[in-house]
């Protein structure tokens, strides 16, 4: 039963990735302008533009170019950048570490805080602490990321001068300098994730607290802390794991806006720069990487939810 459920999730993930690759490839082809003309300049003669289109394979039918591109992906070949005349894989390898470092630091902040605050809200349900955290979480979710980033910059970079407003991380910098430089972008990403995890943790535990066995434990005089942590939490793990991993996927994919605001040299910044330069191979590679990371984390969330939920692991009528 469990193997069949996991196999279905994996198959669905592969189909989703295939559909996304089609969307990424053909949507990039719809970008306005001519790549060859953009590379050579407006004053380039038509013969030179036509020759470059032929050399780049842009004169081939779209389905042929997609098959060539997809075949290269399976072999680990993302092609060459049109703007930098370098392998796309080299450009990605220079940026992907920065993106995952920012996402990892944000996750290390957001996941523990979200879980702790969610548990505390469930323990002190309908009390002032619960009302305050619920209101703060609602505000954090409602405010767009770019506005949160600008507010943090205005307070901590402009007014107080504690942290830098630009996160230009360099490979030669030490780990402490990197942490200081990414403080504001990491806080921007973490605030929204903390709010989502907090609300989901509180809601999941709240649903379990209405169960008959919890009412029986209350009648036996079990303390609220023990009631939530020892009795309710183990049975609420499935939705909590799901929301944590979904938000980790969001951290990897949602860095684009934050990286642009803080001029952070990650995949998001590379994607935006490549779109402006019509560097199609880089745009396609970034799109596929983001989609793959999101799908893999969603699949992991589904699998762990199955493993954490006895009702999903056992067939109906099982003992």
Cα distance between residue 152 and residue 188, in whole Å: 8
Which residue bears the tokens 């990605």?
92
Cα distance between residue 47 and residue 26, in whole Å: 26
pLDDT exceeds 70 at position 309 = no
Q: What is the DSSP letter of 233?
A: G
**Section 177-202 average pLDDT:** 87
Give residue 39's pLDDT: 67
Give residue 192's pLDDT: 84
CB contact at 8 A, 149 and 185: yes
pLDDT exceeds 70 at position 40 = no
Neighbouring C-beta atoms of residue 52, cutoff 10 Å = 18
**Section 198-214 average pLDDT:** 79
The answer to which of 30-44, 83-97, 187-201, 273-287 has the lowest mean pLDDT is: 30-44
The answer to which of 151-165, 235-249, 251-265 has the lowest mean pLDDT is: 235-249
Tell whether pTM > 0.75.
yes
Which pair of tokens denotes residue 180? 């200081």
Give residue 223's pLDDT: 74
Q: Which fold has domain 92-313?
A: MetI-like fold (1.10.3720)
Sequence spans of domains, the chain: 2-74, 92-313
pLDDT exceeds 70 at position 129 = yes
pLDDT exceeds 80 at position 147 = yes
**Section 218-226 average pLDDT:** 72
Which pair of tokens denotes residue 157? 């970079």
pLDDT exceeds 80 at position 162 = yes
pLDDT exceeds 80 at position 92 = yes
pLDDT exceeds 60 at position 315 = no
Give residue 318's pLDDT: 44
């Amino acid at each position: 039963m469990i193997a069949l459920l996991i196999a279905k999730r994996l198959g669905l993930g592969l189909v989703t990735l295939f559909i996304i690759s089609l969307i990424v490839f053909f949507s990039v082809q719809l970008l306005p302008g001519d790549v060859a003309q953009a590379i050579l300049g407006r004053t380039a003669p038509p013969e030179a533009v036509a020759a470059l289109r032929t050399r780049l394979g842009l004169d081939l039918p779209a389905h042929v170019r997609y098959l060539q591109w997809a075949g290269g992906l399976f072999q680990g070949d993302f092609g060459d950048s049109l703007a930098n005349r370098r392998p796309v894989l080299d450009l990605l390898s220079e940026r992907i570490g920065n993106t995952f470092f920012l996402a990892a630091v944000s996750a290390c902040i957001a996941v523990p805080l979200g879980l702790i605050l969610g548990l505390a809200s469930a323990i002190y349900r309908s009390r002032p602490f619960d009302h305050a955290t619920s209101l703060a979480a609602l505000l954090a979710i409602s405010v767009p990321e770019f506005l949160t980033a600008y507010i943090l910059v205005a307070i901590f970079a402009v007014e107080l001068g504690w942290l830098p407003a630009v996160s230009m991380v360099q490979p030669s910098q030490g780990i402490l300098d990197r942490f200081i430089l990414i403080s504001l972008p990491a806080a921007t990403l973490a605030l929204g994730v903390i709010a989502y995890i907090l609300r989901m943790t509180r809601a999941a535990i709240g649903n379990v607290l209405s169960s008959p066995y919890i009412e029986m434990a209350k009648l036996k005089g079990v303390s609220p802390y023990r009631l939530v942590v020892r009795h309710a939490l183990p049975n609420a793990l499935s939705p909590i794991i799901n929301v944590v991993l979904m938000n980790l996927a969001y951290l990897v994919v949602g860095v684009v806006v934050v990286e642009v605001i803080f001029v952070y040299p990650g995949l998001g910044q590379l994607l935006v720069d490549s779109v402006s330069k019509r560097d199609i191979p880089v745009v396609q590679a970034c799109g596929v990487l983001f989609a793959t990371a999101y799908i893999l984390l969603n699949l992991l969330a589904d699998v762990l939810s199955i493993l954490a939920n006895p009702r999903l692991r056992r067939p109906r009528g099982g003992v």
